[in-house]
Amino acid sequence: MKVSSEMIQKMHQEAEKVWVPEFVRVIQETKDPYLNLIYDTDPLEQIFWDNVVLVGDAAHPTTPHGLRSTNMSMLDAAVLGKCIAKRGAENLQSALREYQTTLLPVVSKQVLRATRMGRIKQGLVLPDREPFDPKNSRSQDYQELLQEDMPFFDDVPLLLV
């Protein structure tokens, strides 16, 4: 999305409030900035219908804050392949049900976690914490932003063996 000069001016002012001077300079020296909108979505309740199956971002649209999209997509393909190999192409519906049952609980948590991380990083108000301020935060304020806390599949490696 192309931005107006008023939007650019406001972006520069907001950057000075939040970011370190080196990053503010990068923002201010960017000649033609654009706005990349990010939307949060609720987790899906199902990821297959008949012979149509969703994988990757279509199955679990996470914002970039979770840093898992590509990894999740590769894992989806691996799990789907294993489910089909295990059940056989003649039992496709059974394989797709197993795929959905395996993925949905964790990817739903990942979508919600990425949404929460995005809201924290943007300094938005959440009911259970103060807005995040990177200039005045303490080490414990960063704890919830650690990627190691992103839900993952503890049992998937067993499924892939």
- Bigger pLDDT: 102 or 155? 102
User: Has residue 156 got a pLDDT over 60?
Assistant: no
Q: What is the pLDDT of residues 57-112, one digit of tens each?
A: 899 888 777 666 777 888 889 999 999 999 999 999 999 999 999 889 888 888 88
d(CA 25, CA 15) in angstroms, rounded, equals 9
Q: What is the pTM of this model?
A: 0.74
The DSSP bridge partners found for residue 49 are 52
What one-character-per-residue DSSP string does 94-125 give? HHHHHHHHHHHHHHHHHHHHHHHHHHHHTT--
State the Cα–Cα distance between residues 93 and 87, nearest whole angstrom.
9
Query: For position 148, what pLDDT does the model report?
Result: 67
Tens-digit pLDDT profile for residues 9-67: 888 888 888 788 898 999 889 888 877 777 888 999 999 999 899 998 899 888 777 66
Is 160's pLDDT higher than 70? no
Confidence of residue 144 (pLDDT cuts 50, 70, 90): confident
Read off the pLDDT of each residue in 136-153 and give the average, rounded to a whole number: 73
123, 148, 24, 116 alpha-carbon torsion, rounded to 10°: -20
Residue with tokens 């990083």: 121
Query: What pLDDT does 51 receive?
Result: 87
CA angle at residue 39 from 11 to 101, to 5 degrees? Answer: 150
pLDDT at 53: 94
The per-residue pLDDT for range 112-136, each reduced to its tens digit, is 888 888 888 888 888 988 888 877 8
Q: Of residues 7 and 94, which shows the higher confidence score?
A: 94
Residue 52: its H or E element: strand 52-53
